[in-house]
């Protein structure tokens, strides 16, 4: 049986999400999956550090570093150099 938190996270699959981590960075990309260790896999991801951003592609964010996950956000408007 799934918990309410697991069901909510599952509803975010294949949708744009924002993940914030402890060091202040944010990642916005498509939630591709998770695992039992609470790691998160994001595709077509943009990393934000302060006022700067960069395309990082497919990444795995370690679960213990995650502070917040927001699902179903508006996808970032990519600039041509990202894709």
81 assigned to some structural domain: no
How distant, in Å, are the alpha carbons of 23, 56, 64 from that of 48?
Answer: 11, 10, 19
Distance, in Å, from the CA atom of 49 to the CA atom of 39, rounded to the nearest integer, reads 20
What is the extent of the structural domain holding 16? 4-75
User: What string of pLDDT tens digits covers the 83 residues of the chain?
Assistant: 688 877 888 888 999 999 999 999 999 999 999 998 889 999 999 999 999 999 999 999 999 999 999 987 776 565 555 54
For residue 10, the model assigns a pLDDT of: 84
In a domain, 44, yes or no: yes
Whether 33 maps to a domain, the answer reads yes
Place of tokens 């894709």: 83
Tell me if 41 is assigned to some domain.
Answer: yes
Question: What domain count does the chain have?
Answer: 1
CATH number for 56: 2.30.30.100
Q: Who contacts 15 (Cβ-Cβ below 8 Å, separation ≥6)?
A: 30, 31, 71, 72
Judge whether 82 lies within some domain.
no
């Amino acid at each position: 049986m799934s918990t309410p938190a697991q069901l909510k996270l599952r509803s975010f699959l294949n949708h744009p999400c924002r993940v914030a981590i402890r060091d202040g960075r944010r990642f916005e990309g498509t939630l591709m999956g998770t695992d039992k260790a609470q790691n998160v896999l994001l595709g077509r991801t943009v990393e934000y550090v302060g006022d700067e951003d960069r395309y990082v592609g497919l990444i795995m964010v370690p679960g213990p570093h995650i502070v917040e996950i927001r699902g179903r956000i508006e996808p970032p408007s990519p600039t041509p150099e990202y894709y």
